[in-house]
Amino acid sequence: MGERPKALVITAPGINCDAELAQAFAAAGAEPELVLLERIRRTPGLIDRFALIGLPGGFSYGDDVAAGRVMAVLMREAVYPALAAAVERGTPMICPCNGFQIAVQAGLLPGADAGRWPARAPAPTVALCPNRLARFRDVWTRVEVPADTRCIWTAGLTLDPEADRMPSAHGEGRFETDAATLARLERQGQVALRYDARDNFNGSMGAVAGICDPSGRVLGLMPHPERFTRWTQHPWWTRLGPESVRGEPLGLRMFRRAVDLVRTGQHHRSTVPA
């Protein structure tokens, strides 16, 4: 199988899904390591040691001010250049839930235009707002992968509408932007995941559940794929037919795609059109 690529899981006070993210990377064949943000802020070059990166979910720094805001500010100051450089050289990165909220405020998503990352973190152009009914929801939903997405984590996945659901747990996950930005994201294949029209519980614009950067390597999404790497995690796994549970769960398939690309060296290939 070859050497297990190293996966960096950036953690901080208040984050509570770092162990789950590490376990998902490990199940997909990577070697995860949890590193505190403060250590990375002091030595950003640590990022260069890793072939994959994850920003976990949870409530970083208590979600003071707004969800993910404090951690995003700390990253914009000292870590953004190193992360942008990692993506430019081909490093896949996944940011579930609070990680998605952090990534959009830290300037990592929707990402650099045509893969040219600016020296300083750009201002956010999308937002994760309070859910439509202004309440926290913990729910499994049907999801869809757009046929034209360029996201390396989701592109080409074939979904079973009953078995391949995704768990979400958040109070601020409603995707919002202006109409022109959404149209551009759709046109460039940057919408990586949508809620099924029946399951858009938080009221996200365009039913967007996740987006990627123009290279397809950086994925931010509100659902938690790291919480669906074993069939026993599915709320109805005992009622699913044998055909449904024969393959790998959706979350594990997503992580395995990125890990396998790193192992074969294909992550260096840019998906940005010339």
pLDDT in tens, 128-174: 999 999 999 999 999 999 999 999 999 999 998 889 999 999 999 99
Q: For residues 200 and 152, what is the distance between their CA atoms, to the nearest angstrom?
A: 23
Residues 6+ apart with CB under 8 A from 102: 55, 60, 68, 71, 72, 75, 95
Q: Are 248 and 149 a contacting pair, CB within 8 Å?
A: no
β-strands 93-96, 52-54 pairing: parallel
pLDDT at 268: 57
Annotated active-site residue in 170, 172, 226, 234: 226
**Domain 6-268 belongs in CATH node 3.40.50.880:** yes
Measured distance CA(177)–CA(125) in Å, rounded: 7
Alpha-carbon distance values, 175 to 26, 131, 203, 216, 273 (Å): 30, 9, 8, 19, 26
Q: Is 234 a catalytic residue?
A: no
Segments of the chain scoring below 70 in pLDDT: 1-2, 114-115, 267-274
Alpha helices in the chain (DSSP H): 18-27, 37-42, 69-78, 80-88, 98-105, 179-187, 250-264
Count the neighbouring beta carbons within 10 Å of the beta carbon of residue 179: 9
267 included as an active-site residue? no
pLDDT, position 112: 80
pLDDT at 274: 29
Distances (CA, A) of 221 to 25, 125, 173: 16, 16, 9
Instruction: Report the DSSP pairing between strands 52-54 and 6-11.
Output: parallel
Q: What ranges do the domains of the chain cover?
A: 6-268
What's the one-letter identity of residue 198?
R
Integer Rg of the chain from CA = 17
Structure tokens at 103: 């990534």
Among residues 97, 129, 151, 212, which one is catalytic? 97
User: In degrees to the nearest 10, what's the CA dihedral of 242, 246, 252, 254?
Assistant: -100
Told to judge if 224 belongs to the known catalytic residues of this protein, a careful annotator would answer yes
Structure tokens at 133: 């009914």
